[in-house]
Each structure stands twice: as C-alpha cells, then as structure tokens.
Amino acid sequence: MTTFTITTGSGKPVLGLRETPMLVLGTLSGMGLGSQIAELDGDLGGIISAEIQERGFQGELGKYFTVELERPGIPQNILVLGLGSPEKFDRKAITRAIKIAVARAVKLGCNKLTIPILPNRQTQGKLNLRGQAYIIREAVEQKLKDLNAEGALEVEFLCSPQAKIHLVRGLACKRMNDKGECSYSED
C-alpha cells in the first residue's frame, strides 16, 4: 500500500528536514546542489558534496548514488539522483527518476521516502507542481506494481505552505492531458 503525505516547514535547511529512512535529492545536469541543499550538506559535514566530487557526479538523467548515514535526527539514506538537463525535464525524466528512487527504497528496506519540493526550484518553468505530483504518484504506483513489492511505502513531500495546495491537487488528479491539465473524475 502506498500513502502520500505532505509536510510543510520552514526556517531550516530543506524546509525543516528531520529524520527519514530515505531523502531523495534530485539534481539537474550542471546545476549544483542549490542553496538549501548546500546548507543541509554543510550541516552534515559536507558529505554530499564530497561524494559528488569523488564520483564526478554531474546530474545526468538516471545516474545516482546513495549515502548511508548513522546519526539520529537526520536522514538514514540520502539518494542523490540525476534529473538530466533542465531543457529535457519532462514527464519521462520524472518517471524515470522516481522509479529509480522507489527501487532503491525497496532494495534498502525503506518504508518511507521524502522528496523536498524547494521554493525557487530550477524546474518550475517546465512543468507545474500539480503535474509533477500526478506524475510522481503514477510512477510510484507503477514501479511498486512492477516490483511486486510487499509492505507499505510512504512518499512524503516536504514543501512550503504555498506549494502544498498544488501538490494536493496533483495527487487527487485522475487523468492528465498533454497540456498538464487535470481531470478529477474518472469520466
């Protein structure tokens, strides 16, 4: 069973992030971590940026690595996931990235993954939050079905209060047309 939750926060790195079995950090090609993720990285002793440097990670679509942490009050695993180029950030890219995140969560035995939706994100002009939430929900459900995964997986969106309404509407969407417009009924 899959549940989707939306947590709002502010005032700390990544909107007040706390402990979670898996934190998913998406990065676009050549764009770096961004200020909020860089602040979180600093709080973690620079482990994310050190791994990016060591691996030569560039944010290419489908490339990823996982950092395992063993301290209370912080994420247990951080999945750094390439989203590809900003120009090609679309439904296919989101679907591929989320399916990788779900597969990693299942493989590592995580019952929850947290996806921060940051303000002023670099993808906001390409696909609205409502559309992104719909695509994420669809990809999570399909990958869990493909994996024939047992147990529950919670997908938590960590966002600002302003983003919450768009995510709620996207998760409630039943169908989406090519323009990214949602239908909330089955017909």
Please say whether the beta carbons of 114 and 30 come within 8 A.
no
Write out the E strands in the chain. 2-8, 22-28, 64-68, 77-84, 112-116, 153-159, 175-176, 182-183
Domain, as residue range, for 127: 2-183
Please say whether the beta carbons of 25 and 113 come within 8 A.
no
Residue 120 has a pLDDT of: 59
Please say whether the beta carbons of 152 and 61 come within 8 A.
no
Q: Which of 121, 93, 106, 94 is nearest to 66 (CA)?
A: 106
Residue 12 has a pLDDT of: 54
Going by C-beta distance under 8 Å and a sequence separation of 6 or more, which residues neighbour residue 48?
Answer: 25, 33, 37, 40, 41, 67, 78, 80
CATH of the domain at 58: 3.40.220.10
Q: Which of 123, 121, 118 is nearest to 135 (CA)?
A: 123
Cα of 187 vs its chain's centroid, Å: 30
Residue 13 has a pLDDT of: 47
Instruction: Determine the Cα–Cα distance for residues 115 and 19; give it in Å rounded to an integer.
Output: 13
- The residue whose two tokens read 């009050």 is 73
pLDDT averages per 10-residue partition of the chain, 187 residues: 85 63 92 79 90 94 94 90 89 94 95 85 66 92 90 90 90 80 67
Residue 76 has a pLDDT of: 93
